[in-house]
Amino acid sequence: MPKPTILICGASIAGPATAFWLVRAGFDVTIVEQAAALRHAGNGVDIRAEALAVIDRMGLGAAVRARAAQTRGLRFVDRRDRERARIGTARLERMVGSEDVEIARGDLSALLHGATRDDVSYVFGDAVAALAQDGGGVDVTFRSGRRDRFDLVIGADGLHSGIRRMVFGPEERFVRFREHYFAAAAADLAIGEPGWTTFYNEPGRSAAVYRAAPGQGQLTFTFHSAQALAYHHRDTAAQRGLLRHAFAGMGWHVPAMLDAADAAADFYFDALAQVRMPSWTCGRVVLVGDAAWCASPASGAGALLALAGAYRLAGELAVDGISPQALARYEQAQRPLVKLKQSQLFTGITVPRTRAGILARNLFLSTPLTGVLSRWKSDDATPLRTYAFASTHVKSPE
C-alpha cells in the first residue's frame, strides 16, 4: 500500500523536526517553503530541557553542541560602560535545572535540513495558495499553479502563518500583542566583553551586543510600546525606520549599533506577540511551532516548544495514524508546556520600564539567587513520551 502523504508548510525548525520523525513513522513527507533557500543566519536560540532530549533522540546532540555559541553569560552596563551586574551561564543553568545550548537559528535549521533532505521532498520558492479538505484528505493549490492532494497538511509557517489564516481565521483573532518590539541583526562590533552578551538599558529600551569569534556578532534591540505599530511584516525599510525612531537619543554605543543594523544583510524586526488558539487542529489540517503557540522571543522558548511539539505530533501520528484521537493527544500533551512558557517572559530583566526597575534588576542579579528563578523550569509540564518509530535510521550531519 502507498504511504500516507503529508505536506508541511515551513522549513525553519518545527517543520523539518516534524518531518524527521514522520519519515520514521512511515509517512511520505513533502516540505514547501516560500523562501528561495534556507536562511543561514538568524539570532541565537536556546535548546534545553525537553528540546535537548528530542535532539539527543534524533542523534543530533553532538552536532548541535559542536556548533553551540560559547556564551559565558549576561552583563549589564551603564551609559559610561561601567558594569553594574552580571550572571554567568553556569549559574543560570543551575537555576533553571537544565543544560542550555545556544545555537544560531540558521545552524539549527541547516542541521535539521541535513538530517531530512534524503528522505523528505523539499520544495523551495513556493507556498500554498489555497486548500480544500474533505473527510479523506486535502486538495492543495500552490502559488506556482501546481496542484496535489495530501492526507494531512501541517502548518509550521511561523507567527504570521498563512495556513492558520486560510483554515482557522484572520491573524488578529489569535495573535496577542505583548507591548514590546524586538529587532536583531548580525554585526561585528568591538563592543562589550567577548563571549558575553552586554546589555545597556534606558527605561523601556534595551540594546545588547553579543561578541563571539572575530567576524561574528549579534545585535539585539527591544523596546516597550503601549500601542501596536503600523507596518508590514515584510517591509524591512519601514522596520529599520521604526527602530531608529524608537532608539533616537539613546546613549552608550547605540548610534553605532543602529548604523550597523541598517547595513546588516540579516535583519529581523517584529512585535513580541503570542499566539493563543482554542485548538490547533481543524479536520486534516494541524499547526505546530510558532504558527500554533508562539510564546514570543522574550520567552527564550521558541526552539524548545518547536522541537518538543514536533516530536509529540509525529509520535502520536505514529501510534494511531492520521486520526482525530492522535491529533487530540498531541494537543493534550503539548498544551501544558505551551501554557507554562507563555507565562514566562523575561522583559522585566532585559527591558525594565523605569530607572527604578533597572536599579532593582541590577541589585537582584548582584545578590545570590536561591530558588527565585525555579519558576522557569519545565518540571510541571507533561513529560516526553517515548514513541516507537518504525525506523530509527539517522543520517549523520555534515
| Residues 174-223 pLDDT 10s | 999 999 999 999 898 989 888 899 999 999 999 999 987 655 789 999 99
User: Sheet holding 147-150: strands in order across?
Assistant: 128-134, 137-142, 147-150
Q: DSSP label at 382?
A: P
The three-class DSSP label of residue 187 is: coil
With cut-offs at 50, 70 and 90, classify the pLDDT of residue 227: very high
- Examine the pLDDT at 370 and tell me if it is beyond 50: no
- The sheet with strand 285-287 has its strands ordered as 121-124, 28-33, 5-9, 152-155, 285-287, 281-282
pLDDT at 396 over 50: no
Q: Which of 27-36, 37-46, 373-382 has the highest mean pLDDT?
A: 27-36
Q: Which of 98, 95, 97, 103 is CA-nearest to residue 62?
A: 103
Can you give the pLDDT at residue 110? Answer: 95
Q: Which amino acid is at 199?
A: F
Class of residue 328 by CB neighbours under 10 A (exposed 0-12, middle 13-18, buried 19+): middle
203 backbone dihedrals φ, ψ, rounded to 5°: -50, 120
Residue found by looking up cell 528540546 in the block = 51
Q: How confident is the model at residue 45 (pLDDT cuts 50, 70, 90)?
A: confident
pLDDT band at 104 (very low <50, low <70, confident <90, very high): confident
User: What's the mean pLDDT when you consider all of the chain?
Assistant: 90
Cell 514536533 maps to which residue?
310
Spatial separation of the C-alpha atoms in residues 377 and 289, rounded to whole Å: 20
Whether 39 has a pLDDT exceeding 70, the answer reads yes
Q: Which domains does the chain have, with CATH numbers?
A: 5-175+274-376 (3.50.50.60)
| CB 151 within 8 Å of CB 61 | no
Query: Does the pLDDT at position 43 exceed 90?
Result: no
C-alpha cell at 57: 533522540
**3-state SS assignment for residue 67:** coil
Give me the pLDDT at residue 381, please.
63
pLDDT level of residue 25 (50, 70, 90 thresholds): very high
